Amino acid sequence: MDISIVIPLFNEAESLPELYAWIERVMKREHYTYEVIFVDDGSTDNSWDVIRELKQAHPEVRALRFQRNYGKSPALHSAFRKTQGEVVITMDADLQDSPDEIPALYKMIKDDKYHLVSGWKKKRYDPLTKTLPTKLFNATARLFSGIKLHDFNCGLKAYDKRVVKNIEVYNDMHRWIPFLAKNAGFTRIGEKVVKHRKRKYGSSKFGVSRFTNGYLDLFTLWFLSKFGKKPMHFFGLIGSLMFLLGAFAVVMVGSIKWYALHKGVAAPLITNMPYFYIAIAAMIIGTQLFLAGFLGELVTRNASERNKYDIIDEL
């Protein structure tokens, strides 16, 4: 099979027939073998009924339905496990992504040998309150990930099938799939300028919280990519530095006390010196951080994936 098209959705009943008809036209024009996997993420409208009707008329349609709304990442992860195509295309169900982009994305994967191609909505039909945070969001993502993409969160992406079978998309990590792919060793990541269309039906399902959550997820992913299998390198280093700072403060306290006694003057009370409290706090925090790294090493030592490496060829 040439292409698997994955479409997560939540309350998009009005757009589904038009979207599928558009996809079908493109697929038949290009003579691709394909499947379309709809993932109903707990819709409360009649989206599932519409999908069932499409399934009855079109054998290429496959579908998954969640009991409740879990989010886009679980929807993508569940669909990725089911895909059969050599190239996997993801797109949103709101008709803002154009199926006419699929042939070019497919060729970039198959002919140009990219592992992943992300869409770039260079011209957006969104309010300024959404576009400005998005630009800042993407700039931060480029800095932390080292991946030169302009639009990490674009729903229109193409993947080599090996990518979707070797990454785990969880929580809200769908925003960082290029970063996940890079950490899994799929480094040929490109982008393509795609058309952004105005929403025709319904309203956006995403709120402002996605930006704050996105930053937290980015830091989590960055930390795991750097220290996920060697937590002592992070916590142990910082803990040791904090402990040394505390030890230096202890030396300062002792030196001040000794100097006063040597000069025959009244020595200040230890509890009146700021170095005393710096020493206590730094040494306690340093010890805790060092123990956190040690416990992290114990946890990773027993993790099933500690020595899991992807061997792609063997002679």
pLDDT for residue 275: 81
d(C-alpha 83, C-alpha 186), whole Å: 19
Which of 141-145, 161-165, 204-208 has the least mean pLDDT?
Answer: 204-208
pLDDT for residue 121: 87
Q: What mean pLDDT is predicted for residues 42-70?
A: 94
Q: Six-digit token pair at 2? A: 């040439």
pLDDT at 309 over 70: no
pLDDT for residue 147: 92
Q: What mean pLDDT is predicted for residues 158-162?
A: 96
3-state secondary structure 54-114: HHHHCCCEEEEECCCCCCHHHHHHHHHCCCCCCEEEECCCCCCCCHHHHHHHHHHHHCCCC
Which residues, 6+ apart, have CB-to-CB distance to 31 below 8 Å? Answer: none
- Please tell me the pTM assigned to this model: 0.76
- CATH of range 3-227; options 3.90.550.10, 2.60.40.10, 3.30.1490.20, 3.80.10.10: 3.90.550.10
d(C-alpha 205, C-alpha 44), whole Å: 13
Which of 26-40, 206-220, 237-251 has the least mean pLDDT?
Answer: 206-220
Identify the band that residue 303 occupies on the pLDDT scale cut at 50, 70 and 90. Answer: low
Q: Six-digit token pair at 279? A: 């020493």
Identify the band that residue 139 occupies on the pLDDT scale cut at 50, 70 and 90. Answer: confident
The CA R_g of the chain, rounded to the nearest whole Å, is 27
Q: What mean pLDDT is predicted for residues 291-300?
A: 82
Q: What mean pLDDT is predicted for residues 166-185?
A: 89
pLDDT for residue 221: 76
Q: What mean pLDDT is predicted for residues 108-116?
A: 96
- What would the pLDDT profile of 118-131 be if each residue is shown by its tens digit? 999 887 766 666 66
d(C-alpha 158, C-alpha 107), whole Å: 10
Which of 7-21, 40-54, 206-220 has the least mean pLDDT?
Answer: 206-220
For a pLDDT cut of 90, what percent of the chain falls above it?
50
* SS3 assignment, position 178: helix
- What would the pLDDT profile of 181-217 be if each residue is shown by its tens digit? 998 899 999 999 998 877 777 666 555 566 677 777 7
Give the residue with greater pLDDT, 236 vs 108: 108
pLDDT for residue 315: 56
Candidate ranges 14-23, 166-175, 260-269; pick with highest mean pLDDT: 14-23
Which of 104-113, 154-163, 259-268 has the least mean pLDDT?
Answer: 259-268
d(C-alpha 278, C-alpha 284), whole Å: 10
d(C-alpha 166, C-alpha 5), whole Å: 18
pLDDT at 39 over 60: yes
pLDDT at 278 over 80: yes
Amino acid at 261: L
Place of tokens 């993409």: 149
Q: Are 73 and 42 in contact (CB under 8 A)?
A: no
pLDDT for residue 72: 92
Identify the band that residue 270 occupies on the pLDDT scale cut at 50, 70 and 90. Answer: confident
